[in-house]
Amino acid sequence: MKERILKRFDDEITALERELKTELPKEIQRAREFGDLRENAEYQAAKERQTYVQARIGMLTRRRNEVSLMNLDRVPHDKAGFGSTITLKEPGGGQIVYQLVMPEDADAEKGLISSASPIGRALINKEVGDEVTVTTPAGTRKFEVVTLVTIHDE
């Protein structure tokens, strides 16, 4: 999983660097040819995009470095932690499956939740059979951990 995350970071950084070094300079040059830069919307948009891309590359590089330093051996083998897939049973009988992921990978509709989210924090270190109570903006929800597949089991 760590390698997959690092590859995704590397791929996005590579694409953004290509945009920063080849595509944006061409756009800026083309926009300059339109004349007065103070009232040139194309030039302003290209410069804003350039600033955004530089900031995004910096953020991704920092996150990539943080992930590369992660020691996945410290993730528990028998309790929920980063990378775990957890099946929860609601009191009404319905089941929900979540995977604990990095914040930038979170997508609740796909069942990918950040370990920093309220549900994610409530699930950390839980085992099969444990009850989980989560306070959300919509109110308190209760679950039971039915199955657990850790990052080591995949």
Q: What is the CATH number of the domain that holds 10?
A: 1.10.287
Same domain for 83 and 54, yes or no, is no
Q: What proportion of the chain, given as a percentage, has pLDDT over 70?
A: 98
Its pTM stands at: 0.63
Residue 48 confidence (pLDDT) above 90: yes
* CATH code of 108's domain: 3.10.50.30
Distance CA 89, CA 66 (A): 33
What's the chain's average pLDDT?
87
Domain that holds residue 12: 2-70
Is 41 found in the same domain as 81? no
At residue 99, the pLDDT reads 92
Confidence of residue 15 (pLDDT cuts 50, 70, 90): very high
Q: Which of 21, 46, 70 is where one domain is finished?
A: 70
Which of 26, 46, 70 marks a domain boundary?
70
Kindly state whether residue 154 falls inside one of the protein's structural domains.
no
Tell me the average pLDDT across 135-147.
88
Same domain membership, residue 40 and residue 25: yes
* Domains contained in the chain, number: 2
pLDDT score of 62 more than 70: yes
